[in-house]
Amino acid sequence: MSADQIRQVILNILIRIAPDNDLSNLNDDVPFREQMELDSMDFLDIVMEIRKRYRVQIPEEDYTFLNTMASTVSYLLPRLQTATA
């Protein structure tokens, strides 16, 4: 998967988990929680959806890498290179 494909996957997950949020102006460098109404359970739902869809393990100590869109894409890019969107 490319960085753009991963970004779109994350956007689709965010839309499903937080449908009341407007993601049209999402800043890739600002933490999700500063731009959206997400609680810790929503964040875990995002992680679990990624795990389920792509069978990638994300250790709890790596959750800080999933703080922004840019860091999430950078973290997932090497792990999803062989995955398909």
Does position 50 have pLDDT exceeding 60, yes or no? Answer: yes
DSSP 45: H
Collect all residues with Cβ–Cβ distance below 8 Å to 22 and sequence separation of at least 6: none
Q: CA separation (Å) from 42 to 2, 15, 21, 32, 81?
A: 25, 11, 13, 11, 25
Does position 68 have pLDDT exceeding 70, yes or no? Answer: yes
pLDDT digits (tens, 9 = 90+) for 11-48: 999 999 988 888 888 999 999 989 998 888 999 999 99
Global model pTM greater than 0.95: no
